[in-house]
Structure 1
């Protein structure tokens, strides 16, 4: 029985969360094989996810501040040009509408990888656990079958 080292990340309901086999914390993130034969709970590392989220938020905040600064500088330049050239108010309103549309068009994509390969030690632990389950299943089947036990001697001593 060969188990490929390809795992897909899936989310399950909070009510269906099972405990992690390593840290025993309940988790709604699971890794599952493509043929749905095996699964691993607690697929994400909370510290890594938290640090990545924090970094993304900081990057977004920095980008937002930069855009606001550029907009202020553009407005100052526009005001100077209006005083000199007398630009119409309609053009100014149109530019504001464009800016509002551009700022409202942000989309949030979950860019976490969806397909994983386990570290060789964890992968070997999974294979060993599956083999032990298979051996235990075969042993219980053998114990239930009375033909496999030796019969009592029928001859006299």
Structure 2
């Protein structure tokens, strides 16, 4: 009865909280193996304890996340550049219109004011969009490896549970006990 020493950290609902395996306080954090052979509740504070477990870093997932962030940043910069180019073309077009219409100076002042208002809103919106999309680090499950003593305790506990289950099954089987003698002495 052996299972790998690789546990994934998962959260459960507050109503499903059970006592921590180490300190017996209610906890919603669970460490579970990939094949679901072993799982137990543990406090998040114990996960930071170097004497209990060590986090296993998934370098491929980190690289993929960085690459995704970079692609999003490139896309955002491209959009901003396109908006600036469009704004430049609009300004040049308006200048050409102003030169053609020198009679309507009041109209030109109105368009300048409108243009300034548009610039202010455009300047505010990209910064808000960048702040609204932070990348959280909880997107991926955290993977841990228990220290040898705690891992051995988990194996022993599973082994004892299996032995107890086997003994209960034996006790339920009537052929396990000796039968009463049928012959008279």
TM-score bracket relative to the smaller structure? 0.5 to 0.7
Contact 2:10 2:141 in 1 (8 A): no
Q: Where in structure 2 are the equivalents of 1:59-98 lying within 5 Å?
A: 97=124
The structure having more radius of gyration, on CA atoms, is 2
Distance of 2:177 and 2:35 partners within structure 1:
37
Aligned-pair CA distance for 1:154: 3.4
Contact 1:9 1:43 in 2 (8 A): no
* Count of residues paired in the alignment: 119
Q: Where in structure 2 are the equivalents of 1:135-154 lying within 5 Å?
A: 135-154=163-182
Alpha-carbon deviations, 1:32-87, whole Å to 9, x = none? 111222212125217959xxxxxxxxxxxxxxxxxxxxxxxxxxxxxxxxxxxxxx
Higher relative contact order (CA 8 A, sep 6+): 2
User: What are the ranges of 5 or more consecutive residues in structure 2 without an aligned counterpart?
Assistant: 50-115
Q: Runs of 4+ in structure 1 displaced over 2 angstroms?
A: 46-49, 92-106, 110-113, 152-157
Distance of 1:21 and 1:136 partners within structure 2:
20
* TM-score for the superposition, normalised by structure 2: 0.52
User: RMSD over aligned Cα, in angstroms?
Assistant: 3.2
Q: Which residue of structure 1 aligns with residue 23 of structure 2?
A: 23
* TM-score for the superposition, normalised by structure 1: 0.61
User: What are the ranges of 5 or more consecutive residues in structure 1 without an aligned counterpart?
Assistant: 50-88
